[in-house]
Structure 1
């Protein structure tokens, strides 16, 4: 990505900004583009001599619309910095940033006049980016073995996944298959690497298999506590001046095996709410009770998206929620999303993680409005 000029990148960002601000009612526009190159050398007393180079690209934008004390926003391709992957400038070129800008601005303005998300129990469909954050908070963090063992409690506590639950807990429905995969063949996620910071090769660990809880994120120090013969290869440090700790790699839900596009999933849903793009989140200190708010929602009636809904939110209990999943889209809807600013530890370490996901449907979920104004 560093072969592109500052002028070229600014020209693209300003073009996006112009498109966003051309929409009547857009009050504020934010655009961002980030490139990073990491060089890492690892030497150990066991004779390891490992050199890794990673390139990271992140890009996205947000349109804001104000009306009195109300603020609505729409982001693309995701909120909180957009989409991030371990790739080059080709990511920027693939995302059709300019082409989507006007739609994003129009949706931000439309949210001001949209009706509040109704309160009750409903079927919901989550887009892939929101499902990625759901995985991050209600699967990724609680499977960190240092949290489970009480060695880490910073940033939302420990974990409900005590050791007795391994290979015994029905975490989700039979359609829930989640892996921790740092290998390059999984994709260019922010959790992709060749070796972790103990010199352990990247690998794929099944976390949930057909709904059954089957694995943790482990290190060389902790692997023996779960009867593993080797580390899961998840120990990473933010930089040379921080101790490596267990971190998420790419924690991804595998796509459905039968062909199913997002619009087909909506068409198969008689009544419900489609929610898109994260806006807020909250989870307890065991990673068991949660609440998420999204930027926008649409009511589903008779298999069609109808009226727009603002401030949509949903809440639940982790295992009940994942057991309510009854459909997930196939590979052609699956995207490996990047979460670039995951905090953990004290002193705090910020790390990038990846989350592959496709739109999925959940039944009997509590929904409501995250904010109803004055």
Structure 2
């Protein structure tokens, strides 16, 4: 399966396949919890068994992964599912090599056996290694807890209320031009307990939401159809995210789209999507050529993800990882030179695990490392990568960046992308002011299809909505638009970035990596940004 299926949700039909596997449960069971004292006792069983078997280091992850998934089509609810997955994963270092084992047997004997199995695997792995694992130090934090900040627990909201919200969105789209509507609601609660021989016992309660939809309009005479996906972003928040308030609205440039920061009004977005899908049926096809592009945050997050996020994962840079996204053009020699121009001087891209409401926000990663923020591209220059405890020494870092993650108790943690974002512009600039300086351009809203090579260098991106910019004004809707560039020329063509008033985050709920594959969740923030002289092609295909 190609990696783009993890991110391209024009059909959204594949989304449910990537939810963690678990047993079906009643909705009421979602609200139950396991006492922290019980989790600590189980963790100590694993730590003691591993060290007695010869491990020099051990970490234990006790996980309870809960999901609720609702899908609707037009005015009907198609399915509702609640799932639970519970178990323990034990990772050790013995004789300088890693070992990992997991079990769903939550008894003391079951967990101790898994710990001993992990040690046995580590001992067997020694002969395959050329040098011992080297972990960057981390200070044990004792017993601590953290949870996603929220005021409304999605687990306590009636399923009927959620389904009614989705059906109201579908109806709004159908009443305003859509021929078909599909909407879904992904709700995730990860109850994660981490303990290690470093002296940490960390209990975290993580909540995430996403409500994607698709509006499709059909011209019955010609059979032509066009779709527009929702512009709502996946978030690390509670159900209050759907309590939209007028003061939270942001008007995009020229009043083209109504977007949200603190909350999301899915019904209003669906109403606009119905109109947009219908307008796309008669929109003018783009004339290929060079354009100045004005890219909204709802679009730019995906470009950042593909040509900054993935190529600065250190395992890809080193050639240790190539699944789903290839390796990287941003090799160590470019970083060591200290003058590799990844982008224009106004381009500053940073990684972080701390932004409230983001998908990647946690207090500690899956190695017990505190979340932090660090620069990747500073004033256009490549200055750092994304590294875990066993990678930090390779790039001269004294500590991990705190970006280790496993998608389940049953899978081993490894380097996963933190939130990677474009810093807002320093000069005061709004999208409406940015438009005024563009003579010939295209304004792109929302993410779409994409293609990128195995070194994350040459690429092509589409979008959801396209508007002509002519002599400083946003004009008519365009269709069949995609832009092409390579990563370095694209970011060096960045000529303007709106200020912090326009900054907001998009993101991916299903980012694939590894073999066997794991999924991760990650947000990417930006303000609206301008890129000059980018090649635009016409993607229309004529039949016959």
TM-score bucket (shorter structure): over 0.9
**1:20 and 2:173 matched:** yes
The one of 199, 204, 216 aligned to 1:64: 216
Does structure 2 conserve the Cα–Cα contact (< 8 Å) formed by 1:288 and 1:318?
Answer: yes
1:87 aligns to 2:237 (yes or no):
yes
Does residue 173 of the first structure (1) align with residue 351 of the second (2)?
Answer: no
- Residue 4 (structure 2) aligns with: none
Does 2:519 match 1:371? no
Structure having the larger proportion of residues in helix = 2
Q: Is this contact kept in 2: 1:223–1:230, CA < 8 A?
A: yes
3-state SS of 1:224 partner:
helix
**Higher alpha-carbon Rg:** 2
Q: Which has the higher contact order (CA 8 A, sep 6+)?
A: 1
Selected match of 2:498 from 329, 345, 363: 329
Deviation at 1:100, TM superposition (A): 3.1
Question: Could you tell me which residue of structure 2 aligns to residue 10 of structure 1?
Answer: 163
> 1:35 corresponds to which residue?
187
The question of whether the paired residues in 2 share the 8 Å contact of 1:251 and 1:355 is answered with yes
Q: 1 CA distance for matches of 2:182 and 2:430?
A: 31
Q: Render the CA deviation track for 1:57-80: whole Å, top value 9, x for unaligned.
A: 112322112344543111222xxx
Assess if the C-alpha contact under 8 Å between 2:418 and 2:522 holds in 1: yes
- Is 1:301 the counterpart of 2:455? The answer is no
Match of 1:282 among 446, 451, 475: 451
Question: After superposition, where does 1:93-242 map in structure 2 within 5 Å?
Answer: 93=243, 94-166=263-335, 167-183=338-354, 186-242=355-411
Contact 2:504 2:527 survives alignment (8 Å): yes
Unaligned runs of 5+ in 2: 1-153, 244-262
What is the CA deviation profile of residues 61-119 of structure 1, one whole-angstrom value per residue up to 9, with x for unaligned ones?
22112344543111222xxxx41111011211221222233221111111111111221
Q: Cα offset for 1:259?
A: 2.3
Q: Structure 1: 5+ residue runs without aligned partners?
A: none
- How far is 1:31 from its partner? 1.4
Partners of 2:414 and 2:480 in 1: CA distance? 36
8 Å Cα contact 1:116/1:372 also seen in 2: no
Cα distance per residue 1:122-150 (max 9 Å; x no partner): 11111111110000000000000001111
Q: TM-score, normalised by structure 2?
A: 0.66
Distance in 1, matches of 2:398 and 2:206, equals 29
8 Å CA contact 2:233–2:505 kept in 1: the answer is no
Query: C-alpha separation between the residues in 2 aligned to 1:34 and 1:261?
Result: 33
